[in-house]
Amino acid sequence: MKTRAKNAILGRLRAATAAGFPRVSAPTIPRKPGGGVADFERFAAVLTTLGPTFEMARTPEEARQALTAYLAANDVKTAVRWDHPDLDAVSAAGVLAEAKVAVIAPEELPERVCPGLAAVDLGVTAVAYALCATGSLVMAAAPGRERGTPLVPRLHVAFVARSRLVPDLPTMLERVGQGPMPSALNCVSGVSSTGDIEFVYVRGVHGPLAVHVIGLDWL
């Protein structure tokens, strides 16, 4: 039954494309290479117009201070964090421990991860790429990098290393295409939002209510 539908559909499509289907006149016009800027100034300027907040850390120590201050200012009691080299570079685990934030290790999360994350205050992640033209954080799922961490908790802090900046989406997709696609790649530009009631713009709908980005200038 299943193959029958497939064969019938593909059969019709084949007949359609074989029977005098005009050759595409112009080959697809290649997109001009991005060539745009990839610096923190541009990234932060766009990012902050979309809702997230940004601060720059010039040294690992400044990054640790930034995270410590954020935890205190937002009354963070519980957190989850990704297993990511950029987080190790700022010893995020140590900062969370010092601040007496209860960190839920991935293995402590229940079988269904998202319900377990719903009561957590903060998700801490790093990015695979950050897009300067659109102020976007690009996060890739992997073992130790749960999809729910930047999505379900009330707050999200993302570390963005300078070496992760790329000009724009096509450049990012070109790089991503050089390796296998992760099971989930999320490009997030701003804070979850809606305009569904009378086009009044509201931030913080289903995803985190606030996103804070810490730039790692030396990395």
> Mapping DSSP to helix (H, G, I), strand (E, B) and coil, where does residue 68 land?
helix
Per-residue binding string, another protein, 116-155, x by CB under 8 A, is --x--------------xx-x----xxxx-xxx--xx---
Q: What does each C-alpha distance from 43 to 37, 58, 192 come to in angstroms?
A: 9, 16, 18
Rule CB under 8 A: say whether 73 interacts with another protein: no
Nearer to another protein, 62 or 168 (CB): 168
Using the structure block, give the residue that is written with the tokens 């957190």.
79
Binding of another protein at residue 44 (CB under 8 A)? no
Q: Check binding of 109 to another protein (CB under 8 A).
A: yes
User: Which of residues 22 and 85 has its CB atom nearest to another protein in the complex?
Assistant: 22
Contact with another protein (CB under 8 A) among 113, 121, 210, 217: 113
Q: Which two tokens stand for residue 216?
A: 């790692």
Which region among 27-35, 54-62, 91-99, 122-130 touches another protein (by CB under 8 A)? 27-35
Pick the closer one to another protein by CB: 5 or 73. 5
The reply to whether 105 sits near another protein by the rule CB under 8 A is: no
Q: Which of 2, 35, 85, 100 binds another protein (CB under 8 A)?
A: 2
Q: What is the DSSP letter of 11?
A: H
CA distance 132 to 144: 26
Q: In what order do the strands lie in the sheet with 165-166?
A: 136-140, 129-131, 165-166
Cα 48 → chain centroid: 15
Sole binder of another protein in the list 64, 114, 167, 215 (CB under 8 A):
114
Among the listed residues 73, 106, 72, 109, the one whose alpha carbon sits nearest the alpha carbon of residue 87: 106
